[in-house]
Amino acid sequence: MNDPPVPPVLSARGLVREERGRAKTGWTLGPLDLEVAAGECLALVGPNGAGKTTLLRCLAGLRTPSRGVVAHRGRNFAELSRRELARRIAYVPQVRPANVPLTVREAVELGRYPHLSPFQLAPSAADHRAVDHALAAAGIEAFAERPLDELSGGERQMAWIAAALAQEAEVLILDEPTTHLDPRHQRDVAGLLHRLHRENGATVLLATHDLDLAGLLGDRVLALRSGRIVSLGPPREVLAADSLAALFDAPFRAEPEGRAARLSLAP
């Protein structure tokens, strides 16, 4: 599992992204190299401000690298239009917008945007199939006709994931998909991602602060700190007590085999 036999779906070479903050002098992501294999699930962990979101945005083509190359199956992002990129990579941002005057189905339908022509008056039969399929995969057909703003945070998150699924992209990137959700909805989201990855062979990248989720879903876990990759490997190594303690500057104690180490609350 550590040596993917297929060529990487996503690759970054010498990726650097300089962010100019307003108050601070700015900070830099990278330089870093990364390869994600087809059908792999890569989980990103790291302290707040480590650059997880910036890295995911670069890998989704939403931010242009200051230096280096990001590519999908060997095609440099710089050669692809936003639309072409969206047919390859779907992204679910961390911030879920409020006051969106759409129903769930309308929001999911808009996931078809990269496949729609501007001269098309209505979505095609294929679009409708993709939308129905995405709603079913997320298990949210029951409230498909309800306005997004009437839903709970967890239901809304499922809707936005379904909208990304309707995009029918090869890679699904999610930024903290379970943050701010109650345990049941965390489980729903985790279950959906697990099914997509294990049963449908989807390539999934996610950033999360839920270390158990990272261990459960991730084939590999990437630990990021101050814009650099600290470690990248199987969960049992990256999520071991000593590596997590170094990553987060906090005491962690070991858990039984197959579980992420746990934050130690006792002094």
Which residue's CB is nearer to another protein, number 40 or number 175?
A: 175
Residue 7's alpha-carbon distances to 10, 44, 201, 211, 246, in angstroms, are 9, 21, 15, 28, 32
Instruction: Tell me whether residue 55 or residue 261 sits nearer to another protein (CB atom).
Output: 55
Q: Are 192 and 161 contacting, i.e. CB atoms less than 8 angstroms apart?
A: yes
Long-range contacts of 230-234 (CB under 8 A, 24+ apart): 230/46, 232/34, 233/2, 234/1, 234/2
The overall longest dimension of the chain from CA atoms, in Å, is 64
Q: In the complex, what is the shortest distance from the CB of residue 16 to another protein, in angstroms, rounded to a whole number? A: 21
Residues 19-48 that bind another protein (CB under 8 A): 22
**Residues from 138 through 197 that contact another protein (CB under 8 A):** 160, 163-164, 167
Minimum CB separation from another protein for residue 129, in Å? 18
Cα separation, 129 vs 135, whole angstroms: 10
d(CA 227, CA 70): 16
H/E stretch holding 13 reads strand 8-19
Q: Hey, CA dihedral for 20, 26, 27, 31, is it positive or negative?
A: positive
Q: Does 116 bind another protein (CB under 8 A)?
A: yes
**Closer of 96 and 236 to another protein (Cβ):** 96
> Minimum distance from CB of 147 to another protein (Å)?
11
Residues 62-101, mask of contacts with another protein (x by CB under 8 A): x------------------xxxxxxx--xxxx-x-x-xxx
If we measure between CA atoms, which residue out of 166, 157, 174 comes closest to residue 92?
A: 174
Q: C-beta of 32: minimal distance to another protein in Å?
A: 22
In the bound state with another protein, the residue whose beta carbon lies nearer, of 107 and 244, is 107
**Residue closest to 40 by CA, chosen among 136, 173, 236, 168:** 173
Question: DSSP string spanning 117-151?
Answer: -TT-SS--HHHHHHHHHHHHHHT-GGGTTSBGGGS
Partners of 171 in the beta sheet?
89, 203
Q: Which stretch binds another protein (CB under 8 A): 26-34, 68-76, 110-118, 184-192?
A: 110-118
Minimal distance, residue 155 CB to another protein, in Å: 16
Nearer to another protein, 53 or 243 (CB): 53
Quick note: the x/- pattern for another protein over 44-63, rule CB under 8 A, is: ----------------x-x-
For another protein, the binding residue among 8, 46, 51, 111 (CB under 8 A) is 111
Inter-residue contact 214 to 239 (CB < 8 Å)? yes
Size of the residue set binding another protein (CB under 8 A): 33
User: Residues in the site for another protein, rule: CB under 8 A?
Assistant: 22, 60, 62, 81-87, 90-93, 95, 97, 99-102, 106-107, 110-111, 113-114, 116, 118, 121, 160, 163-164, 167
